Amino acid sequence: MSETTPAVRRHDADGVTTLTLNRPASFNALSEEMLEALGDALASLADDGNVRCVVLAAEGRAFCAGHDLKQMRAHDDRDYFQTLFARCAGVMQAIVELPVPVIARVQGIATAAGCQLVASCDLAVAARSARFAVSGINAGLFCSTPAVALSRNVARKRAMEMLLTGEFIDAETARDWALVNRVADDEALDEAVSELAASICAKSAVAVRTGKAMFQRQLRMPLDEAYAFAGEVMAGNMLAEDVAEGIDAFIEKRRPVWKDR
């Protein structure tokens, strides 16, 4: 595939925007160019009111093999690496801060920063043949930045096992460990992702956007502050037109017709 082909493709349909990592020959490694393209794509979605849900997908046999090791080996200065990892962290945080949910559609391998990418998404659906690892330790490098996202998804000892051994886990284990939400047969992966995205798009847009922002922010708070913040958010949400419609629909035993689409 020519390097003039976009590193990230965008497709929009029925409120769902699919961003597809498009460097299959390099297993969609997070090169400088890929990080820039993905960062730009995410930035373009932040204020797009037509987007209800984002699917992060990948072309080829792998979801993402992490950082581009050949590109990294061409450098030996600390400033370069600090800039690279800061850029990567910015992309991961952009996913978290995006107003709408992001679903990772995972096939093949998701390793190191590729596993970090899955962990940074709000939801993840994996093909049954998918495998996950934070394998930097095998090359003498502890996956410190992937550890940030991984440790916010799976239990501490399980995260440390992955980080210290570099061993792969299969899709079923990733689901059991809460790294992914659902596992689908390979041939049914797109259908499973579409079903999850459609379920989100069927809900009130104001509720979904309010909910994602609240959920991410309260995670960083002590318990008492989290409850106070959540109460304020919920009180504001109660005043939304969609809530009145939703409650009336429940009482009247009918489907709600959301005003905020």
d(CA 75, CA 151): 29
Same topology, domains 8-201 and 205-251? Answer is: no
Q: Above pLDDT 90, what percent of the chain?
A: 97
Judge whether residue 231 has pLDDT over 70: yes
Judge whether residue 2 has pLDDT over 60: no
Domain 8-201: what homologous superfamily? 2-enoyl-CoA Hydratase; Chain A, domain 1 (3.90.226.10)
Q: Domain spans of the chain?
A: 8-201, 205-251
Handedness of CA 148, 151, 152, 153 (dihedral sign): positive
Mean pLDDT throughout 189-198?
98
Handedness of CA 28, 30, 31, 34 (dihedral sign): positive
pLDDT band at 3 (very low <50, low <70, confident <90, very high): low
Q: Residue type at 158?
A: R
pLDDT band at 100 (very low <50, low <70, confident <90, very high): very high
pLDDT band at 260 (very low <50, low <70, confident <90, very high): low
Domain 205-251: what homologous superfamily? Lyase 2-enoyl-coa Hydratase, Chain  A, domain 2 (1.10.12.10)
